[in-house]
Structure 1
Amino acid sequence: MTSVTLYQPVGMEELQDIKASGWKAFPPHDIEQPIFRPVTNEAFAAQLAQNWNAAHTTYRRGYIVRFEVLKSFLDAYENKVSGTPGHEEYWIPPEDLSLLNAAIQGQIAVAGTFAGHDAEYRRFDETHA
């Protein structure tokens, strides 16, 4: 089965929920942004984590998580460009989040973090196998 690597910027609270799932699932998405929008490259995810999560969340932390999803699941969704070439994302409606979670192959891994909106990106590869 073919899979696609995706990235998602998250805050500390969401990361704790992912950890509580055994690194297997994303929690229901924020009411303010109900569409789950994983991105196709780490640099775009890092930009979002720095500009949003590390700047606007309670703990001023932004994390990048990496995960593999079955391509057959993603084929049902349009790969959208968000303004700039290379800023590609999938829009997963909230009612399909459980289907996305079921299509995740392996575990969700932490790829890096920001502490505060002006902090440098610390890249690392934290797996939970």
Structure 2
Amino acid sequence: MKTTLYRPIGLKELQLIIDMNFKGFPPRLEWQPIFYPVLNQEYAEQIAQKWNTGDEFSGYCGIVTKFELATDYLQKYEVHNVGGFIHNELWVQSENLAEFNSQIINPIEVVKVFTGERFNVDNKDQASLCVLKYLKR
């Protein structure tokens, strides 16, 4: 069996995922001890829309990604509820991210994009072009 997970990201992280051919998530920054995919699209959209679109580091863009892993593999990670009923996420220690990435079954998909008022497209940037392509659907 497979389980679908979601991850809200910004433009910089999308570019790193593109650089990895949509096969994994980039290593965490030194100050980020965990990688936290979320368990439903609604929660991922809340984060992408309410946080990423107002964040300069995210390029004022919130992108919801979707990916699948074997349910058996995910049993090793505890589900953490960090707020309301839908606010469930897995906490993957940053040192385990490479192994986690190796378990992703299909390429990571972009499923939703939100842009903030300060979003600006760089036509030379692959991530921006990917976002524009998605928005023109």
Question: Normalised by the size of structure 2, how large is the TM-score?
Answer: 0.80
The residue that corresponds to 1:71 in the other structure is 71
Which whole-Å deviations, capped at 9, do the CAs of 1:96-124 have from their partners, x for residues lacking one?
Answer: 101110110011000011101799xxxxx
In structure 2, relative to structure 1, the CA distance for the partners of 1:117 and 1:91 (3 Å cut) is farther
Preserved contact between residue 25 and residue 101 of structure 1 (Cα < 8 Å): yes
Matched letter for residue 112 of structure 2: G
Over the matched positions of the two proteins, sequence identity in percent amounts to: 37
Matched letter for residue 85 of structure 2: P
The residue that corresponds to 2:14 in the other structure is 15
Preserved contact between residue 11 and residue 57 of structure 1 (Cα < 8 Å): no
Deviation at 1:31, TM superposition (A): 3.7
Preserved contact between residue 60 and residue 118 of structure 2 (Cα < 8 Å): no
Equivalent pairs counted in the alignment come to: 119
Deviation at 1:35, TM superposition (A): 0.9
The residue that corresponds to 1:3 in the other structure is 2
Quote the Cα distance in structure 2 between the aligned partners of 1:116 and 1:31. Answer: 27
Q: How does 1:108-119 map to 2 (within 5 A)?
A: 108-116=108-116
The residue that corresponds to 2:131 in the other structure is none
Deviation at 1:69, TM superposition (A): 1.0
Matched letter for residue 18 of structure 1: I
Preserved contact between residue 36 and residue 97 of structure 1 (Cα < 8 Å): yes
Structure 2: tracts of 5 or more residues without a match: 120-133
* RMSD between superposed Cα atoms in Å: 1.9
Return 89-98 or 72-81, whichever deviates more.
72-81
The residue that corresponds to 1:51 in the other structure is 50
Quote the Cα distance in structure 2 between the aligned partners of 1:31 and 1:113. Answer: 27
Matched letter for residue 44 of structure 1: Y
In structure 2, relative to structure 1, the CA distance for the partners of 1:71 and 1:9 (3 Å cut) is same
Structure 1: tracts of 5 or more residues without a match: 120-125
2:18 aligned counterpart, secondary structure: helix
Quote the Cα distance in structure 2 between the aligned partners of 1:76 and 1:45. Answer: 22
Q: How does 1:80-119 map to 2 (within 5 A)?
A: 80-116=80-116
Question: Normalised by the size of structure 1, how large is the TM-score?
Answer: 0.85
Deviation at 1:84, TM superposition (A): 0.7
Quote the Cα distance in structure 2 between the aligned partners of 1:116 and 1:9. Answer: 14
